[in-house]
Amino acid sequence: MTASDHAPNADLAPYIDHTLLRPEACPAEIETLCSEALDHGFKAVCVNPLHLPRVAARLSGSAVAPCAVICFPFGADPTAIKAAEAEWVVKHGARQVDMVLPVGLLKAGELAAVRDDIAGVRSACGTALLKVILETALLSDAEKEAACRLAQEAGADFVKTSTGFAGGGATVEDIALMRRTIGPDMGVKASGGVRTTADARAMIAAGATRIGASFSIAIVEGR
């Protein structure tokens, strides 16, 4: 029995990617993050690539998936670099990969280049899940819709709202827009500013199938 079984909102635990992406995060904090995810039954532990091998070792044999962000938080790296980083994290135990699409190219209307960028990372991920971060705070609604379609066409498994590093964050309106655009068969991850039980439930009601959060324990315990 996990700690989450005793939490008043234990049903939310399987939605949550327990996340720590601060640049000053220390190994001891990463170990604590993993222990919390195991205790509460969260879906994944999401970290920067430096910490991924530690996370993969700690979670080995459990149902909690190691997840790494790549070329984070800007996504402004050449596709070859993104693909190489994706290959590295998968080789070192990542079962899920979160990438940032090239926001500037999207805003410039270079849609084929954005699609190719996502497709290149998709290929490098092998069997690992790929989530594409749109950085919704920087996009118009039309750009959000275009980004969702491009991610879907490129074979991504999820679209995700935000890095949490560009201002703004997940909104119910953006989750609903993303869900409408991609339909029922692709994942939607709400990330950035999801801090309470009410926040999480609102995102799920709007169409989110995953929540990225650093306030995960507060969410499941109703704080």
Contacts of 203 (CB under 8 A, 6+ apart): 170, 172, 175, 190, 194, 211
C-alpha–C-alpha distance, residues 145 and 142, integer Å: 5
pLDDT at residue number 142: 98
pLDDT at residue number 1: 53
Q: What percent of the chain has pLDDT over 90?
A: 95
User: What's the mean pLDDT when you consider all of the chain?
Assistant: 96
Say if pTM beats, i.e. exceeds, 0.85: yes
Average confidence (pLDDT) over 74-91: 98
C-alpha–C-alpha distance, residues 159 and 26, integer Å: 28
Sketch out the chain's domains with CATH numbers: 12-221 (3.20.20.70)
131, 144, 160, 174: the catalytic one is 160
Q: Active site includes 82?
A: no
98, 157, 174, 199: the catalytic one is 98
Vertex 170, ends 165 and 173: CA angle to 5°? 145
pLDDT tens digits, 13-44? 999 999 999 999 999 999 999 999 999 999 99
Closest CA to 211 of 191, 192, 187: 191
pLDDT at residue number 42: 98
Q: Active site includes 189?
A: yes
CB-based contact 175:207 (threshold 8 Å): yes
Contacts of 131 (CB under 8 A, 6+ apart): 96, 97, 98, 99, 156, 157, 158, 159, 160, 187, 189, 210
Q: What percent of the chain has pLDDT over 70?
A: 97
